[in-house]
Structure 1
Amino acid sequence: MSALDSLLHRRSVSKVGASAPSHRDLFALVEAAGTVADHSSLRPWRLIELRGAARDRLGHALADAEGPGANREKLVAKMHRAPLLIALVVVHQPSAKVPYWEQEAVASGVAHALSLLLDEAGWGVMWRTGQQTRSEPVRQMHELRPNENLLGWLYVGDAPPGQRELRRKRVNPMDHLTEL
């Protein structure tokens, strides 16, 4: 499949099955995703796999971030929407040439590339965020360092049958592309 076909047919999949790629299965995909444009080759990103009980810990951290009255059981259950969550982390590198926003753009590019590669490999994928993504309890749960911020999570699992046949509403390029 071409890059054009991959982008035109990609869909976020909110309901996935119980299987997910193994740690080893992810190696080639992460290697390929890591080829995104990266000024000064800083590689300002990393990924964290969350499976099993790690998803419960994330649900509890989100509940802690939400504060009193949070529905802890509901938040833990939401983390089980997929068998694999991949935390997307921007790792700010000191640089006189590459500002923070550009490093965050690189990390976002890696995340999007990885989602396309997972989709192309037949997995269902959805990039999720939320109000507590950068909260202190969630930072601590992911063991983030001071120079790191969370961009969200890729939820990954079996793609439902027929997912590729569904169509997304396309943008009108004339609404987004101008000339000077």
Structure 2
Amino acid sequence: MIETVTDYPALAAVRNRRSWSKVTDAAPTRAELLTLIAAAGRVADHSSLRPWRVIELRGEDRATLGAAIAKAEGDDKPSTKPLRAPLLLAVVASYRKSEKVPRWEQEAVASGVAHTLSLLLDEAGWGVIWRTGHYTRAKAVAKAHGLAKDEELLGWLYVGGKPTGARPGRRKSVDPRAHLSRMPAPAKGADKDGGATKTGAKKDKKKS
């Protein structure tokens, strides 16, 4: 039985996660990806809309993306950025029509899937880095991925093997006290719902 929060296996996995800008040519199989994506899909999802999908890019797919990026940026030569890893996972926000769930909340779900998937890949022994760029919104890049009108690209997870002896990117520790706070105290003369009290209302009426 887990007795304290420090005993959680997930805590160690999150603390140990790092971004790997350089990876080897090894990559997870499609079968491995299916298992990890199924788990990543367990993120909080209001109304279970599943407003996301993942596109895997391997081999020549990366060259196609490089050409699309070059077109978006007005370059003559294809971008070599997609060739930095053997596998790229494009994370797509696929917005659904919903009166309850706004667009921003659906994008948050897709982002949650991307982060969870990167964490799972790292824990499985793969080197991962989430790359973005202004060209994620470019028409040429969207067309290369076959995106629909109600879809947006949130970037790519670059995936490959962790080089022996290489060190991942470093990140400073977070000071939790700087990010955790409490609700502000209710203002004087306000009720529990945030409205003016009867006394306060009478005072305001006299002033008007």
Indicate whether the TM-score tops 0.5: yes
In the alignment, which residue of structure 2 is the partner of 1:136?
Answer: 139
Contact 2:21 2:169 in 1 (8 A): no
1:157 aligns with 2:160: yes
Which runs of 5 or more residues in structure 1 are unaligned? none
Q: Which structure has the higher relative contact order (CA within 8 Å, separation 6+)?
A: 1
Q: Give matches, 1:11-30, under 5 Å.
A: 11-30=18-37
What is the rounded CA distance, in whole Å, between the counterparts of 1:106 and 1:33 in structure 2? Answer: 10
Aligned to 2:193: none
How many residues are treated as equivalent by the alignment? 176
Q: Tell me by how many angstroms 1:20 deviates.
A: 0.3
CA distances 1:35-88 after superposition (whole Å, capped 9, x unpaired): 000000000000000000010000000000001xx2524x1x221100000000
Q: Secondary structure at the match of 2:56?
A: strand
Residues 165, 13 of structure 1: alpha-carbon distance in 2 compared, 3 angstrom cutoff: closer
In the aligned structure 2, how far is the partner of 1:9 from the partner of 1:42? Answer: 31
Out of 36, 44, 49, the position equivalent to 1:42 is: 49
Cα contact 1:9–1:168 (8 A) shared by 2: no
Please name the residue that 1:104 is paired with: 107
Corresponding residue number in structure 2 for 1:63 = 70
The 1:52–1:156 alpha-carbon spacing in structure 2 relative to 1, beyond 3 Å, is: same
* 2:12 corresponds to: 5
SS in 2 for 1:98: coil
Partner of 1:178: 181
Alpha-carbon distance between aligned partners in 2 of 1:118 and 1:4, rounded to the nearest angstrom: 15
TM-score, normalised relative to structure 2: 0.81
Aligned to 2:116: 113
Cα RMSD of the aligned pairs, angstroms, is: 1.6
Contact 1:133 1:150 (C-alpha < 8 Å) held by counterparts: yes
2:19·2:168 contact (CA, 8 Å) conserved in 1? no
Identity of aligned residues (%): 59
> How far apart are 1:166 and its partner, in Å?
7.5
